[in-house]
Amino acid sequence: MQRPSRETSIFNMSALDLLAMATGTFVLIVVILLPYYRKEFDAHAEILDLKAATETQSAEAEEILQAAVAESRAAAQLQAEADQTLNAAADARAAAASLVQEADQLDAQGGKTEKKAEKKKATLIPKTIEKLDLIIVIDTTSSMVETLRDLRQSIGGLIRILERLVPSLRIGIVAYRDHDMGGRVTNSLQPTSTELQARTIYEYVSRLKPAERGGPTPREAVYTGLNRAVAMSLRPDAQQTIILVGDAGPHHDKERSTLALVKRFVDSGPNRSVSAHFVETRSYLSFGSGDKEYYKRLAQIGGGEFSDQQGSMIEKVLLAVLQE
């Protein structure tokens, strides 16, 4: 009898055994490599987060750059306007000096010519302002958006120019709206030295914002604003100039009182004047009735300048200050 062979052959293993071995091997490999795959996924997520953060920072940097460019252009424009105004003033002074020289020549001829020459001199020699108290009374209702923006952009150049013309300068501001809008009718900054507290003036003007909505009537509290201005502490030995800036007159029952207030102010002391700058806003074009003519009359009674032309606030203020 032939004895059975005891040798084991791998080819006797069933297909099920092979599948089990393959599956176990695969699971073992997965378990070994799983931490590496997890690290790769985490790194990819971090890369995406960093990319998003970089794009956000790049956008913010671009916005900051654009804002800086805009501010630089505005500053350059303001400086150009200031330089242009100073050049015009220099030309005017040169012309005045030439005419004064001519008057001196006429004065040397004697007789009747002497009186004419003296009169011409008095007219042509620029007035020297040693001290100036300037009060800007400005309407801050919703229609005055552009004018308030102009004041914020011009205040720095205005101060620099006036400081070259006036050794001692103080600026005060009265912001007004109307009684029928609720809340405070006026908000003011007392006359402040530009030499000592210029930043206080800048910060106050930067906070001036127009009302979010208009009142039920087109007229404003002009009388209240001017009354607040004339009650301020002004230096008796200084030129005292008030400039009213707005697009509407006072309420009808306050028209005479406002003109009387202006007259009392200019009559109660030397070197006092009230000028008026009228702004032709959409509100005026839609609802205004006689407001511009009222501003003209107010400036006439106040012995000041009237203006309704568009232009920089610097120009309007200089006209009011140097008009005498």
Q: What is the pLDDT of residues 264-283, one digit of tens each?
A: 999 998 899 999 999 888 77
Burial class (CB in 10 A: 0-12, 13-18, 19+), 282: exposed
**Once rounded to an integer, what is the mean pLDDT over residues 211-229?**
82
Q: What is the mean pLDDT of the chain?
A: 79
* Assessment of whether the complete model's pTM goes beyond 0.75: no
Q: Are 209 and 175 in contact (CB under 8 A)?
A: no
Q: Return all residues near 121 (Cβ < 8 A) that are at least 6 apart.
A: 100, 103, 104, 107
Highest mean pLDDT among 8-17, 28-37, 160-169: 160-169
Report d(CA 79, CA 77) in Å as an integer: 5
Q: Write out the H or E segment, with its range, that includes residue 100.
A: helix 15-107
The predicted-structure confidence for 34-70, as pLDDT tens digits, reads as follows 565 555 555 566 677 767 777 777 777 777 778 777 7
Q: Which of 249, 239, 261 is nearest to 323 (CA)?
A: 239
Whether residue 2 is predicted with pLDDT greater than 70 in this model: the reply is no
The pLDDT of residue 285 is above 80? no
DSSP code of residue 182? -
Instruction: Say how far apart CA 313 and CA 147 lie, in whole Å.
Output: 8
- Tokens describing residue 139: 């309407």
Q: Residues 218-240, buried b or exposed e (16+ Cβ, 10 A)?
A: bbbbbbbbbbbbbebebeeebbb
The DSSP string of 6-29 is: ----GGGS-HHHHHHHHHHHHHHH
